[in-house]
Amino acid sequence: MSDLPGTGPIGMTGGTSSAIEEVAADPRLCAIWLERLRASVEEFNQYRKDNPEEPVALVGADLRGVALGGADLHGAKLFEVNLAWENLEGANLAGADLRRCNLEGSNLAGACLEGAQMEFANLRHAKLHGASLREAWLRWAVLESAELRDANFTGAYLERAILRDADLRGATFTAANLVDADFRWAQYDTASFAQADMTRTLL
C-alpha cells in the first residue's frame, strides 16, 4: 500500500477517481443520502444491500442528530463531515473517507473503521472501545484523551498522530506506523506494540 498522501484506497489517482470525487461533491446526492439516513438506519442499510454499487456521498454534511448507530457506511464519502458527540456505536465505516472529520466526543465503540482514511480527523474524547482500525490512515489525526481500550490498530498509519492522555489499555498496534506519534501521558501499559515502527515516537 502506498505511503503517500492521497494515494490510499480512497485517494486514488486517475480519471476514475475524479469521477468519484465529482459524485461525492454533488449536493443533490448528498441531500438524497441524508434523507435516507434520517428515515431509519434499517431502511438505509437495506437500500445499501440492494444497491451495493451506488456510492454514498455525504461530503461536508451536518449529521448531528441523525441516528447512525449500526449504520452501514462502508466506503462512504464523509470528507469534512461534522459528527461531533454523535452515536456511531457498531457502525460499519470500513474504507470510508473521514478526512478532516469532526468526530470529537463521538461514540464509535465496536465500530469497524478498517482501511478508513482519517487523516487530520478530530477524535478528541472519542470513545473507540473495541473498535477495529486495522490499516486505517490516521496520519496527523488528533486522538487526545480518546478512549481506545482494546481497539485494534494493526497495520494502521498513525504517523504524527496525537494520542496524548488517551486510554490505550489492551489496544493492539502490531506492525503499525507510529513514526513521530505523540503518546505522552497516555495509558498504554497493557497495549501491544509488536513490530510497530516507533521511530521518534514520544512516550
* 80 in Cβ contact with 97 (< 8 Å): no
Average pLDDT of the segment spanning 84-89: 96
pLDDT of 64 = 84
10 Å CB burial of residue 20 (0-12, 13-18, 19+) is middle
Average pLDDT of the segment spanning 84-99: 97
Q: Which three cell numbers stand for residue 37?
A: 439516513
Q: How many helices (H) and strands (E) does the chain have?
A: 3, 0
For the stretch 9-53, pLDDT in tens is 434 334 444 444 444 557 888 999 999 999 999 999 999 999 999
pLDDT of 25 = 58
Question: Who wins on pLDDT, 11 or 125?
Answer: 125
Distance CA 58, CA 138 (A): 20
**Domains located in the chain, CATH noted:** 1-203 (2.160.20.80)
pTM score of the predicted model? 0.86
CA angle 15–20–24, rounded 5-degree value: 150
Average pLDDT of the segment spanning 124-129: 98
Neighbours of 36 (CB within 10 A): 17
Q: Which three cell numbers stand for residue 7?
A: 494515494
pLDDT of 183 = 98
